[in-house]
Amino acid sequence: MRRRLILQILIIGAALVGLLAPFGSTGTVAQKASPSGKTLAGIAIEEYQQRRERLMELVPEGIVLLSGKTEEEDSEVEQKFRQRSYFMYLTGVEIPGAILALIPKGYGPEKVREVLFLPPRNPARERWTGPKVGPEEAVSEFGVQRALPTTAFENELSKMLERAQVIYTVVPSGPSAPFSRERAFIERFRQGVEVRDVRPLLAELRRIKSPAELALLREAVRITAEAHREVARALRPGMFEYELEALVMATFLRNGARRAGFPPIIGSGPNSTILHYQANRRLIAAGDLVVVDIGAEYEYYTADITRTYPASGRFTDRQRQIYALVLGAQKAAEAAFRPGQTTMRELQEVARRFLRESPLRSRDGQTLDRFFIHGLGHYVGLDVHDVGDYSKPLVPGVVITIEPGIYLPDEQIGVRIEDMYLVTETGLVKLSAHIPSAPEEVERWMARRTTR
């Protein structure tokens, strides 16, 4: 009898492993979609080619010039390299100092339409930072039409510009714009041509996620859920916020995330009311609420999920009321959603109204919508606050957060609940639905805490 049971368990286990395998290590997710079998950061090189083609269709009369990140720009100490998101989106190339040129009309005798400029290989430097793909290998490694050394850029640029009147690039804005690398980049080719910002065009492409992007986002969510589970199991008064941060980061890295998509926010007690608190230095006390706002970055795609935990394992009555109200606001926004029609602003208004209509009040008698002091949500993708026009309806393929919050510094009560949603033809799919958020579920989850 027992032997048969063990056998059955083994068979079920094997079947489950088979079922779950496609969602396990998603290094393989994108490979299936790539006829060449080549992927860059989990995305097939064919998909990068399609993205470049789509952008070229939008700028038939111009050319696109985009500079990637250089290794030196951050500090003297080498930082872990993260390519700029726009450049990554179009190329998947993580070589410092790369430049991409797209020429929809083609240039030169062969009518080349895309050129990747890469720094020439430097064997001495590679002894320090490892081998890099150089211009010679780039066509086969990255699937671009032509690759040249960056030393040839100026020369080639004048040839490309012979027939183009408009250059699309990242035009810097803001107070530091005049001193930015982009500005220096633009100054090199400004004479006689009009320079336009390529970002709105790219932002609209990036707004709609492909199946391959969704697979990476789902993996980022899975890892982030894992980290929340670790937090729920470990949290107790007497811990430092940074101990939870350590647990979160260890869980991310152990599961193959490259990094956090943004600095983990672990805010206890008074810090729960500070929206982007990142110091994570406080000793957590009994009775505190702890806002844990975290997101793993898997390949280049980040999650962004918040739960608010009672440090002692149970919410006080007041905390529970506020918590339930925040959760209600999230549900009201979900219920009001119509794919292809609703905008983020409309959802925001729904949540705000829900908070305003509650009989709950702050200590000084105000309605609680006054303490919801940030936006209801944002796009998520290559960047945590991903690009895209917020006045547009939320169409199938976009991924958003819905994250109402109430922050009452007087009472040291901050509650934020943040989930990620994919918009489909029929409505919202809550990607982070498996992470408990009802107050009693959170308490039950925490009740399984291990004792130390």
**Which own/partner contact pairs does 321-324 have at CB distance under 8 Å and 24+ positions apart?**
321/360, 322/360, 322/368, 322/406, 322/408, 322/413, 322/415, 323/415, 323/417, 323/439, 324/439
The residue among 116 and 400 lying less far from Mn ion, judged by its C-beta, is 400
Query: What is the DSSP code (8-state) at residue 281?
Result: -
299 vs 418, which CB is nearer to ligand GLY?
418
By the rule CB under 5 A, 304 interacts with Mn ion? yes
Beta strands in 272-412 (DSSP E): 289-294, 296-298, 301-302, 305-310, 399-402, 405-408
Q: Please list every residue from 392 through 411 that binds ligand GLY, using CB under 6 A.
A: 403
Amino acid identity of residue 111, one-letter, is K
Residues contacting Mn ion: total by CB under 5 A: 5
Q: Which residue has the tokens 């006080």?
A: 316
How far apart are CB 264 and ligand GLY at their closest, in Å?
9
Compute the least distance from the CB of residue 384 to ligand GLY, in Å: 6
245 binds ligand GLY, rule: CB under 6 A: no
Could you say which residues in the range 51-110 bind Mn ion, by CB under 5 A? none
Nearer of residues 212 and 292 to Mn ion, judged by Cβ: 292
30 or 400: CB nearest ligand GLY = 400
Residues 277-336 that bind ligand GLY (CB under 6 A): 293, 304
Q: Which amino acid, residue 124?
A: A
Rounded Cα gap, residues 114 and 64, in angstroms: 9
Least Å distance between CB 251 and ligand GLY? 17
* 369 near ligand GLY (CB under 6 A): no
The answer to whether the CB of 260 falls within 8 A of the CB of 224 is no
262 binds, among ligand GLY, Mn ion, none (CB under 5 to 8 A by kind): ligand GLY
Which of 41/399 has CB closer to Mn ion?
Answer: 399
Site for ligand GLY in 412-451 (CB under 6 A): 418
Residue number of the CB closest to Mn ion reads 293
Longest dimension (CA), the chain: 85
- When the beta carbons of 81 and 262 are compared against ligand GLY, the nearer one is 262
Q: Based on CB atoms, which residue is closest to Mn ion, 44 or 420?
A: 420
Residues in the chain: 452
What distance in Å separates the CA atoms of residue 266 and residue 73, rounded to the nearest whole number? 29
Contact with ligand GLY (CB under 6 A) among 262, 339, 343, 395: 262
- Dihedral (C-alpha) 341, 342, 343, 349: value to the nearest 10 degrees? 150
- Min dist. Cβ of residue 293 to Mn ion (A): 4
Task: Give me the least distance between CB of 275 and ligand GLY, in Å please.
Answer: 8
**Least Å from the CB of residue 148 to ligand GLY:** 40
Residue 4 token pair: 């048969």
What sign for the dihedral angle of Cα 321, 322, 326, 332? positive
In the complex with ligand GLY, which residue's Cβ is closer, 294 or 355? 294
- DSSP H/E element including 16: helix 2-20
Least spacing, CB of residue 233 vs ligand GLY, in Å: 22
Interatomic CA distance for residues 419 and 112, integer angstroms = 44
Q: What x-and-dash track marks residues 405-424 binding Mn ion by CB under 5 A?
A: -------------x------
Identify the residue among 94, 213, 226, 293 touching Mn ion (CB under 5 A). 293
The continuous run of DSSP H or E covering 44 comes out as strand 43-44
Figure out which of the listed residues 224, 251, 401, 432 binds Mn ion, where binding follows CB under 5 A.
401
Cβ within 8 Å of residue 133, ≥6 positions away = 93, 95, 118, 141, 142
- List the single partner that 240 binds among Mn ion, ligand GLY, none, CB under 5 to 8 Å by kind: none
Using CA atoms, how far apart are residues 199 and 373, in angstroms rounded to an integer? Answer: 28
Q: What Å distances lie between residue 357 and 328, 360, 363, CA to CA?
A: 11, 9, 17
The residues in 13-32 that bind Mn ion, with binding defined as CB under 5 A, are: none
What 3-state class would DSSP assign to 28? Answer: helix
Strand 305-310 versus strand 301-302 pairing type: unpaired
Distances (CA, A) of 37 to 23, 47, 94, 143: 18, 12, 19, 12
Binding footprint of ligand GLY on the chain (CB under 6 A) = 262, 293, 304, 384, 403, 418
Binding footprint of Mn ion on the chain (CB under 5 A) = 293, 304, 306, 401, 418
